Structure 1
Amino acid sequence: MTMKFTKNDLIITFIFAVVCISLLFVPTGFEDAASKEAFNVKARIVSADNSDFQVLGIVRVGTQFLEAELLEGPHKGKTISVINQMSGKLDIDEIYKPGEKALIEYRYNGDKTTGYTRGHYRLELEIILAVLFGIFLIIVAGPTGAKALLSFVFAALIIWKLMIPMFLKGMNPLPVAILIVAALTASVSFLVGGLTKKGLVTFIGSFSGLIFTCVLAFLFSSGFNIHGAVRPYAETLLYSGFPKLDLTIIFTCGIFIACSGAVMDLAMDIAASMHEIHQKRPDIHFWEHIQAGLRVGQSVVGTMTTTLLLAYSGGYTTMLMYYMGQGTPLCQFFNTNVIAAEVLNILVGSFGMVAVAPLSALTAGIVYHFKKKV
Structure 2
Amino acid sequence: MKKFLLNVNRKEFIFITTLLIIIAIVATLPTGFQKQEYRYTEGVRAKVISVNNMGINGSGIYKLGDQSAIIEIETGSHKGEQIQANNLLTGRLSVDKIFQAGDKAWVLIGFDENNKINFANMIDHYRIDQELLLIGLFALVIILFSGFTGVRTLLSFAFALLSIWKILIPAMLNGYHPLFVALIVGNILTIVTLLLVAGFSKKAYAAIISATICSLATCLLAIVFGNIFNIHGAVLEGAESLLYAGFLNLDLTSILQAGIYLACAGAILDLAIDISSALEELVNNNPHIPKTALIKSGLNIGKSVVGTQTTTLLFAYLGSFITVMMVYVAQGTPLLNILNSKAIAAEILHTFVGCIGLVLVSPLTSFISGVMFAREIRRETG
Q: Does the alignment reach a TM-score above 0.5? A: yes
| Candidates 289, 293, 297, aligned match of 1:292 | 297
Residue 80 of structure 1 is aligned with which of 74, 78, 83?
83
After TM superposition, give the deviation of residue 194 of structure 1 in Å.
0.4
Instruction: State whether structure 2 residue 307 is matched by structure 1 residue 277.
Output: no
Show CA shifts across 1:203-256 (max 9, x none).
Answer: 111111111111100000011111212122111121112122111110111001
Matched, 1:51 2:93: no
Residue 8 of structure 1: how far off its partner (Å): 2.9
The 5 A counterparts of 1:134-149 are: 134-149=139-154
Partner in structure 2 of residue 105 of structure 1: 108
More displaced 10-residue stretch of structure 1: 34-43 or 75-84: 34-43
Corresponding position: 1:306 with 2:288:
no
* Cα distance in structure 2, aligned partners of 1:124 and 1:159: 23
1:117 pairs, out of 114, 122, 130, with: 122
Cα distance in 2 for partners of 1:186, 1:34 equals 39
| Secondary structure class of the residue paired with 2:111 | coil
1:224 — aligned with what?
229
Partners of 2:109 and 2:117 within 8 A in 1: no
Task: Provide the secondary structure at the position in 2 that maps to 1:107.
Answer: strand
- Quick one: distance in 2 between partners of 1:260 and 1:299? 19
**CA shift digits 1:314-364 (9 cap, x unpaired):** 022221111100000000011111111101000101010111101111111
Q: Distance in 1 between matches of 2:303 and 2:252?
A: 36
RMSD (CA atoms)? 1.8
Identity %: 38
Alignment of structure 1 residues 323-338 onto 2, 5 Å = 323-338=328-343
Amino acid at match of 2:149: T
Structure 1 residues 64 and 139 mapped into 2: Cα distance closer, same or farther (>3 Å)?
A: same
> SS of 1:170's equivalent?
coil
Match among 339, 347, 361 for residue 344 of structure 2: 339
Return the alpha-carbon distance in structure 1 between the equivalents of residues 269 and 226 of structure 2: 23
Contact 2:62 2:91 in 1 (8 A): yes
Matched residue, 1:12? 15
Q: Which moved more, 1:81-90 or 1:166-175?
A: 81-90
Q: 1:1-374, aligned counterparts within 5 Å?
A: 6-35=9-38, 37-109=40-112, 110-370=115-375
For residues 40 and 355 of structure 2, the distance between their equivalents in structure 1, rounded to whole angstroms, comes to 48
| 1:283 shift after superposition | 2.0
- Give, in whole Å, the separation in 1 of the partners of 2:57 and 2:39: 35
Higher mean displacement: 298-307 or 32-41: 32-41
TM-score, L = length of structure 1? 0.95
Distance 2:11 2:199 in 1: 7
Which sections of structure 2, spanning at least 5 residues, go unmatched?
A: 1-5
Q: In the aligned structure 2, how far is the partner of 1:209 from the partner of 1:152? A: 22
The separation in 2 between residues aligned to 1:130 and 1:323, in whole angstroms, is: 36
State the SS of the aligned residue for 1:48.
Answer: strand
CA deviations over 1:14-64 (Å, ceiling 9, x no partner): 222111111111111112544464322210112222222222221111221
Q: Given residue 274 of structure 1, which amino acid in structure 2 is its aligned partner? A: L
Question: Shift of the alpha carbon at 1:111?
Answer: 4.1
Amino acid at match of 2:279: M
| 1:80–1:113 contact (8 Å) kept in structure 2 | no
8 Å CA contact 2:206, 2:372 repeated in 1: yes
Larger relative CO (CA 8 A, sep 6+): 1 or 2? 1
State how far apart, in whole Å, the 2-side matches of 1:88 and 1:209 are: 45
User: Offset at 1:176?
Assistant: 0.5
Structure 1 portions without partners, runs of 5+: none
- C-alpha deviation, 1:79, in angstroms: 2.0
Most deviating of 174-183 and 229-238: 229-238
Contact 2:44 2:76 in 1 (8 A): yes
TM-score by length of 2: 0.93
Given that 2:179 and 2:219 are in contact with CA atoms closer than 8 Å, whether structure 1 keeps it comes out as no
Give the secondary structure class of the aligned counterpart of 1:229. helix
CA distance in 1 between partners of 2:162 and 2:263 (Å): 16
SS of the residue corresponding to residue 255 of structure 1 reads helix
Distance in 2 separating the partners of 1:53 and 1:10: 60
CA distance in 1, matches of 2:343, 2:319: 14
> Is 1:294–1:357's contact at 8 Å kept on the other side of the alignment?
yes
State the AA in 2 paired with 1:303.
T
